[in-house]
Structure 1
Amino acid sequence: MTAVPGRGRTTGEQVTIADVARHAGVAASTVSYVLSGKRAISATTRERVLASVRVLGYHPNAGARALASRRANVIALVLPLRTGMQVPVVMQFATAVVTTARRHDHDVLLVTSDEGPAGLRRIAGSALVDGVLLMDVELEDSRVPLLRELSLPSVLIGHPTDSAGLSCVDLDFHRAGEVCVEHLAARGHRRVALLGAPAAVYARGTGFAHRTRAGVVAAAARAGVDAVALPCEEGPAAVRADLAALLDRHPDVSGLVVQNESAVGPVLAALPMLGRRVPQDVAVVAICPDQIAEQSGLSCVAVPAEEIGRQAVGLLMRRLDEQPVPEVTLLAPRLTVRASTAGGRR
């Protein structure tokens, strides 16, 4: 069987780099340089080669490409699929990572975080991946010492207490907590409460939960606002019970900060049942993905999962290329004001 000029090969035949070279009228090495970017090629020649690639439908062989570059062209993403973590939000991060990795010609191997340091050793020893992204980072994360020992490049989505020698990216959750309290204080609320992540998340020492709580407490102290913080469990019944207990102990709470995506809807549903109107009696602001808040008319500091995922992959690609990267990249929180905090305290 023969190829039809300008139309690619007959079904079942693999287009080779030699075919592309013949079609473009250049040497096979020139095609290789265009595709790898390892040598400067004139713009005219480059465009001619890329046009031939498109016409012939050439796809570089992944195995050959990996042998040539000594890379697997795969990165691992360690996902936190365990108690207290919201799977829809985790998958937003994962989708952003996968989409961005493909733009860098990498695939993504998904790994769960329950294996801890042993899982990282297994990944590093397998030679299946070029680098790793870790989510669900704890303040005293047991994986961190190992990351400093391994030659496997890594980026953390989140940051431990000691980030020396690491590369981390996250929302500035401490500042996010502060922004929420400052917003409520500016509207005259003098008693606020944080309904945080489930207790298991705090017990693990998960960074984002502890940093948000610290930000809420710090901003309240500066503003002369009384603040109380407590975990909030999952499920409508548990949320209502936690909220009822809070308002029973602190009936003068007039501002709520919610940092638990699964609790947002149940909180807004339970408040009227407990005799509190939103926002007349209780103003509510959340730290959650913006699409969740927008559906409910809820003021929020958005968790920018897509942006964090993009930046994490970008940082990892720079580490793979042995370029310098910052230890910690924190995204500034952005507050969107909606009906749930409209007006001021009366």
Structure 2
Amino acid sequence: MVTLAQVARHAGVSASTVSYVLSGKRSISAGTRRRVLDSIERLGYHPHAGARALASSRSRIIALMVPLRTDMYVPVMMEIAISVATTARAHGYDVLLLTGEEGVAAVRRVTGSGLAEALILMDVELEDERLPLLRVCGQPSVLVGLPADPTGLTCVDLDFAAGGALCAEHLAGLGHREIAVIGEAPGVYERHTGFAERTLSGLRGRADQLGLRVLHRPCEGSYEAVLATLGRVFDERPDTTALVVQNEAAVEPLLALLRRDGRAVPEDVSVVAVCPEQVAAQASVRLTSVAIPAQELGRQAVERLVAKLGGGTEGGEDDVALLAPELTVRDSSGPAPANQRTKESASARRLSRR
């Protein structure tokens, strides 16, 4: 292993000069700095992380809290996590991944140990129990998600409420009036997880404005669960002509069951999804969808955190960045069936005669 003393000898400078170049604590001439950096690269020197942390009181580690729950779609979580890790590495930070469901205990352990300089929290609930401690501990942090009260916090998320509204607008424009939402697993709503609650709220609010009726049914992602949920939907609302799916695992079982039941997509039933781009584009019927920009969420979270660690103004407290949603029209959505449009026309004629 190459030592700092070897780098100093190779560059023809003192060990303290190499240390100052690495830490940035003192101004070093451009020529000497280039010579030291060249020697570091040629010799393949890597500063000892423990020694560097002791000397600078900085660990260069970001803790990423990603509770891996069975009722969440793990690939999306991992895509965000990978984006966090690669972006952090580009800024000279490593990532400590915490996947347990420890909540407050995990935050307390990280902030109390000094192991990590900062935290990124995912799977944020509207009334997240981790947030009071986060507000008072003084540790730089960013949420990938939006709680009910973001006061004193830095948050990055997709504007899920606007995404839900886009789904309602698209389907209303195609003449649909009876819509069912095949939602996340029941536990996601029981925890009041922010993204799911906000999508539903945005969709319902815009649907009310546009005169759409909405039925929401939480659903696990298994074939059996989707079978039961779809049966309930058409039993309760036989005139349903459009489905909005916010559960990536339920997409293929849903499409398979619609085919089995002789319901053509989109001729008989339109389907719109809130899901990652690759899920929508690679489905057995290419789905009209609102994309979840997982990589961009991870990148922006790290950029804001690094700005906070560097004392910059970007990413300061009370900073909420909501990415604008985009709806991409593909093969799964089309005009409401003729019988639905006929009913709407008849209803309109009755109203006009009153």
Distance 2:175 2:55 in 1: 64
Distance 1:26 1:301 in 2: 57
Conserved 8 A contact 2:176-2:335: no
Q: State yes or no: 1:69 paired with 2:61.
A: no
C-alpha distance after superposition, 1:238-283 (max 9, x if no partner):
1121012101211211111110010011111111222311011111
Q: State yes or no: 1:308 paired with 2:297.
A: yes
- State the partner residue of 1:333: 325
- State the partner residue of 1:186: 173
- State the partner residue of 1:318: 307
Shift of 1:113: 4.6
Distance 1:343 1:26 in 2: 75
Shift of 1:177: 0.4
Shift of 1:213: 0.3
Distance 1:34 1:285 in 2: 54
Shift of 1:202: 0.3
> Partner of 2:103: helix, strand, or coil?
helix
Conserved 8 A contact 1:83-1:200: no
> Partner of 2:98: helix, strand, or coil?
strand
Conserved 8 A contact 1:168-1:328: yes
Distance 1:148 1:231 in 2: 32
Conserved 8 A contact 1:187-1:345: no
Q: 2:133 aligns with which of 138, 146, 164?
A: 146
Q: 1:86 aligns with which of 27, 48, 73?
A: 73
Shift of 1:200: 0.8
- State the partner residue of 2:99: 112
Q: How many residues are treated as equivalent by the alignment?
A: 333
Distance 2:22 2:107 in 1: 32
Distance 2:207 2:323 in 1: 22
Q: 1:212 aligns with which of 180, 199, 219?
A: 199
Q: Cα–Cα, structure 1 residues 344 and 245, in superposed 2: closer, same or farther, change >3 Å?
A: closer
Of stretches 16-25 and 159-168 in structure 1, the one that deviates more from structure 2 is 16-25
> Partner of 2:149: helix, strand, or coil?
coil
> Partner of 1:270: helix, strand, or coil?
helix
Conserved 8 A contact 2:182-2:244: yes
Shift of 1:334: 1.4
Where does structure 2 lack aligned partners over 5 or more consecutive residues? 339-354
Q: 1:124 aligns with which of 100, 111, 117?
A: 111
RMSD: 1.9
Shift of 1:128: 1.0
> Partner of 1:54: helix, strand, or coil?
helix
C-alpha distance after superposition, 1:91-130 (max 9, x if no partner):
1122111112211222222223521212211221111111
Amino acid at match of 1:160: P
Amino acid at match of 2:167: C
Shift of 1:329: 1.0
Structure 1 runs, 4 residues or longer, greater than 3 Å off: 24-49, 342-346
Conserved 8 A contact 2:221-2:248: no
Amino acid at match of 2:289: C
Distance 2:15 2:267 in 1: 72
Distance 1:334 1:23 in 2: 54
Distance 1:38 1:223 in 2: 61
Q: Cα–Cα, structure 1 residues 271 and 104, in superposed 2: closer, same or farther, change >3 Å?
A: same
Shift of 1:322: 3.0
Q: Cα–Cα, structure 1 residues 331 and 39, in superposed 2: closer, same or farther, change >3 Å?
A: farther
Shift of 1:18: 3.4
Conserved 8 A contact 1:97-1:310: yes
- State the partner residue of 2:266: 279
Q: 1:95 aligns with which of 56, 77, 82?
A: 82
Shift of 1:321: 2.3
Conserved 8 A contact 2:83-2:299: yes
Among the aligned pairs, what percent are the same residue? 56
C-alpha distance after superposition, 1:143-172 (max 9, x if no partner):
111111112221111111111111111111
Q: State yes or no: 1:298 paired with 2:319.
A: no
Conserved 8 A contact 1:220-1:226: yes
Distance 2:25 2:170 in 1: 52
Distance 2:207 2:127 in 1: 26
Q: State yes or no: 1:196 paired with 2:183.
A: yes
Amino acid at match of 2:331: A
Amino acid at match of 1:94: A
Conserved 8 A contact 1:83-1:201: no
Conserved 8 A contact 2:176-2:241: yes
Distance 1:331 1:291 in 2: 19
Shift of 1:234: 2.3
Of stretches 106-115 and 148-157 in structure 1, the one that deviates more from structure 2 is 106-115
